[in-house]
Amino acid sequence: MILRRVDRFFDERLGSDAWVRYVFAKLYPDHWSFYLGEFALYCFVMLVATGVWLTFVFQPSHAGAFASVIAFTRATPVGYLMRQVHHWSAVAFIAAIVVHLGRVFFTAAFRKPREITWVLGVLLLVTASVTGFTGYSLPDDTLSGTGLRIADAVLLSIPFIGGWAADLLNGGGYPGPLLIPHLYVIHVYFLPVTIGALLALHLGLVFYQKHTQFEPDPAHVVVGRRFWPDYTLRTLAVFFATAGVVTLLGALIEINPVENYGPYHDWLVTNPAAPDWYAAWLDGALRLGPAVEWRIFGHPVPAVFWPGMVLPTLAFLLVVAWPWIDKTITKRDEVGDVLVPPTAAPWRVGVGAALVTAGVVLTLAASDDQQAVGAHVRVTALVTLYRILFPFGSIAVGLIAALLAAELRASRAGRGAERERVVELVRNAEGGFDAREPHST
Residues that bind another protein (CB under 8 A): 30-36, 39, 88, 91-92, 94-96, 99, 136, 142-143, 234, 237-238, 241-242, 245-246, 249, 252-257, 259-263, 268-278, 280, 363, 366-367, 369-370, 372-373, 378-380
Q: What is the nearest approach in angstroms of another protein to the Cβ of residue 315?
A: 18
- Residue 316 contacts by C-beta under 8 Å, 6 or more apart in sequence? 122, 126
Q: Max CA-CA distance within the chain?
A: 97
- Write the burial class of residue 68 (CB in 10 Å: 0-12 exposed, 13-18 middle, 19+ buried): middle
**In the complex with another protein, which residue's Cβ is closer, 148 or 166?**
148
Min dist CB 379 to another protein, Å, is 6
Handedness of CA 43, 49, 54, 60 (dihedral sign): positive
Q: Tell me whether residue 152 or residue 276 sits nearer to another protein (CB atom).
A: 276
Nearer of residues 243 and 321 to another protein, judged by Cβ:
243
**Of the two residues 92 and 199, which places its CB atom closer to another protein in the complex?**
92
Q: How far is the CB of 213 from another protein (least distance, A)?
A: 11
CB 129 within 8 A of CB 150: no
DSSP string for residues in 132-153: HHHHHHTT-BHHHHHHHHHHHH
Q: How far is the CB of 316 from another protein (least distance, A)?
A: 20
| CB 261, min distance to another protein, A | 6
* Dihedral of alpha carbons 147, 150, 154, 156, sign: positive
Q: How far is the CB of 368 from another protein (least distance, A)?
A: 8
CA 34 – CA 144 distance, rounded (Å): 35
CB of 353 to another protein, least distance (A): 17
Closest CA to 285 of 361, 374, 204: 361
Which CB sits closer to another protein, 301 or 382? 382
- Least separation in angstroms between residue 131's CB and another protein is 15
Question: Quick one: CA dihedral 305, 274, 176, 134, positive or negative?
Answer: positive
Least distance from another protein to the Cβ atom of residue 194, Å? 22
379 Cβ contact partners less than 8 Å away, ≥ 6 residues apart: 368, 369, 372
Distance CA 174, CA 153 (A): 10
- HSE-CB at 138 with a 13 A cutoff on CA atoms is 27
Q: Which is nearer to another protein, 197 or 223 (CB)?
A: 223
Report in angstroms how near the CB of residue 276 gets to another protein at its nearest: 5
Q: With respect to another protein, which residue has the nearer C-beta, 115 or 369? A: 369
DSSP 8-state symbol, 213: B
Beta-carbon contacts of residue 116 (< 8 Å; ≥ 6 apart): 205
Work out how close the CB of 89 gets to another protein at its nearest, in angstroms, rounded to a whole number.
9
Whether the bond into 113 is cis, omega within 30 of 0: yes
d(CA 315, CA 312) in angstroms, rounded, equals: 5
Measured CA to CA in angstroms, residue 232 lies from 44, 79, 101, 235 at distances of 18, 32, 24, 5
* Rounded Cα distance, 156 and 160, in Å: 9
**Smaller CB distance to another protein: residue 257 or 300?**
257
Q: How far is CA 250 from the centre of its chain?
A: 20
Output 51 or 162, the one with its CB closest to another protein.
51
- In the complex with another protein, which residue's Cβ is closer, 95 or 408? 95
How far apart are alpha carbons 21 and 226 in whole angstroms? 11
Closest to another protein by CB, 65 vs 158, is 65
Nearer to another protein among residue 52 and residue 373 (C-beta): 373
Least Cβ distance, residue 357 to another protein (angstroms): 16
Residue 363: name the closest of 293, 275, 300, 422 by CA.
275
